[in-house]
Amino acid sequence: MTIELRSDTFTLPSADMRRAMADAELGDDCYGEDPTVRQLEELAAELVGQPDALFLPSGTMANLCGILAQADRGRAVIAGHRSDVYHFEAGGPAVLGGTSMRAVPNLPDGTLDPAALLGELALDRTDSQYAVPALVCVETSHNMCGGVPLSPGYLQHVRATADEHRVRLHIDGARLFNAAVALGVPASETGAVGDSLQFCLSKGLGAPVGSILAASVDTVDRARRLRKMLGGGMRQAGVLAAAGLLALKNIEERLAADHANAAEFARRLAESAVLEVRHGGPVTNIVLFRVAGIDDHQVFVERCAESGLRLFAWEPEWVRAVFHAGVTSAEAIRAADIARLTAEKLA
Ligand SMILES: *Cc1c(COP(=O)(O)O)cnc(C)c1O
């Protein structure tokens, strides 16, 4: 059996989820008449401490609708240079919304370089040369920075900075619940800090499809029109929402097990003289590591795949391993053995 560590998006719906999908009560959600979708949206809003929520087909669309609901054409949207919003979403806010995407450097802990952020925010708004900033986007846990969660203190700091400069704050919390479990705080503590927040049901939470955008009633109303415009209005979407509802049960236990597997995998890698683990070890379910003396890890990743371990060459000087419901603790240990053996042969 192959051990799949390329991403937590590879999780397959459990038998319980498939049953819940089959039995879901349905209606036409574009008429606001799918009770299962409504139930999911209400529960999600409450869990993340926002007044309202919207169910969307993907995290990319949830980020896009959240951003465009708050940043008009011609306004500037500020995000980290390693953020998903800036890097992995095909430039949507610029292409489809006519916003000006402004990248500021991400520091290794996923935060935004404070001086660069202030540089973008403090541009003279009376000077007609500049696009006027509308929105700052932050990401937690930060995927490209190795799954690090943003601390409550940092989030309060960005909130204050955004308020001071009269811009809104969007949180890309694709893995918000991983961050919350690692920090030992309720998800609402992070969720309520943003004007809007996105989280994925389809990653560590294990649902097959879908994301939530949570925000004020007004922002969610705007986002609903944008979702329709983008073709993301779905009819009997309760089939999918039913899986999402189940994904929101027993979150803590589920994700803590993934974090423990990631930590055990990293601990075993770190015992090898030829392997280096980023940040000294993972905080959530993502492990970044590299083989000493190797710049491009494509060959390493291919050799691991031949031995039954799927990894992702990331950047490409780092390899990413993501732990999720489809990986047992025994498989995490076997994965570490395969990675070590393969690395020691190549190094
Ligand atoms: C996966 C991911 C997204 C996008 O979600 P999709 O459902 O794949 O579109 C957004 N932000 C981050 C940080 C992600 O990891």
Q: Which CATH number is 320's domain given?
A: 3.90.1150.10
In a domain, 224, yes or no: yes
Reported as half-sphere exposure (CB side, CA atoms, 13 A), residue 134 has a value of 20
pLDDT of residue 13: 96
Q: Specify whether the CB–CB gap between 214 and 65 falls below 8 A.
A: no
pLDDT of residue 229: 98
In a domain, 4, yes or no: no
When the pLDDT of each residue in the chain is averaged and rounded to a whole number, the result is 97
Q: Which of 247, 264, 296 is the last residue of a domain?
A: 247
Residue 121 has pLDDT above 80, yes or no: yes
Residue 178, ligand 1, Cβ within 6 A: no
Tell whether 174 and 318 lie within a shared domain: no
Distance 84 CA to ligand 1 centre (A): 7
Mean pLDDT of 5-33: 97
| pLDDT tier, 314 (very low <50, low <70, confident <90, very high otherwise) | confident
Residue 137, ligand 1, Cβ within 6 A: no
Q: Which of 197, 220, 247 is the last residue of a domain?
A: 247
Q: Specify whether the CB–CB gap between 288 and 278 falls below 8 A.
A: yes
Mean pLDDT of 271-299: 93
Tell whether 139 and 175 lie within a shared domain: yes
| pLDDT tier, 347 (very low <50, low <70, confident <90, very high otherwise) | confident
Residue 315 has pLDDT above 80, yes or no: no
Residue 245, ligand 1, Cβ within 6 A: no
Peptide bond into 196 cis (omega under 30): no
In a domain, 53, yes or no: yes
Tell whether 47 and 149 lie within a shared domain: yes
Angle at 19 between CA 15 and CA 20, to 5 degrees: 115
pLDDT of residue 204: 96
Mean pLDDT of 146-152: 97
Residue 230 has pLDDT above 90, yes or no: yes
Q: Which atom of ligand 1 sits closest to the CA of residue 59?
A: 5
Residue 210 has pLDDT above 80, yes or no: yes
Distance 61 CA to ligand 1 centre (A): 9
Distance 79 CA to ligand 1 centre (A): 14
Residue 250 has pLDDT above 90, yes or no: no
In a domain, 220, yes or no: yes
Residue 8, ligand 1, Cβ within 6 A: no
Residue 60 has pLDDT above 80, yes or no: yes
Instruction: Give CA–CA dist 104/114, Å, rounded.
Output: 9
For ligand 1, atom 4, the nearest C-alpha belongs to 59
Distance 4 CA to ligand 1 centre (A): 18
Instruction: Give CA–CA dist 166/123, Å, rounded.
Output: 12
Tell whether 300 and 222 lie within a shared domain: no
Domain limits for position 156: 11-247
Residue 316 has pLDDT above 80, yes or no: no
In Å, how far are 49, 106, 188 from 46, measured between CA atoms? 5, 30, 8
Residue 50 has pLDDT above 80, yes or no: yes
If one counts the domains in the chain, the total is: 2
In a domain, 5, yes or no: no
On the 0-12 / 13-18 / 19+ scale of CB atoms within 10 A, 73 is exposed
Tell whether 231 and 297 lie within a shared domain: no
In a domain, 1, yes or no: no
Distance 86 CA to ligand 1 centre (A): 11
In a domain, 2, yes or no: no
pLDDT of residue 64: 98
Residue 317 has pLDDT above 90, yes or no: no
Tell whether 166 and 308 lie within a shared domain: no
Tell whether 270 and 336 lie within a shared domain: yes
Mean pLDDT of 262-284: 95
Tell whether 24 and 159 lie within a shared domain: yes
Rg (CA), the chain: 20
In Å, how far are 158, 187, 255, 262, 318 from 322, measured between CA atoms? 28, 21, 12, 7, 13
Residue 161, ligand 1, Cβ within 6 A: no
Q: Which atom of ligand 1 sits closest to the CA of residue 172?
A: 11
Mean pLDDT of 168-187: 98
Tell whether 172 and 264 lie within a shared domain: no
Tell whether 231 and 178 lie within a shared domain: yes
In a domain, 6, yes or no: no
Tell whether 212 and 295 lie within a shared domain: no
Q: What is the CATH number of the domain that holds 81?
A: 3.40.640.10
Q: Which of 247, 267, 300 is the last residue of a domain?
A: 247
Q: Which atom of ligand 1 sits closest to the CA of residue 63?
A: 10
Residue 106, ligand 1, Cβ within 6 A: no
Tell whether 230 and 273 lie within a shared domain: no
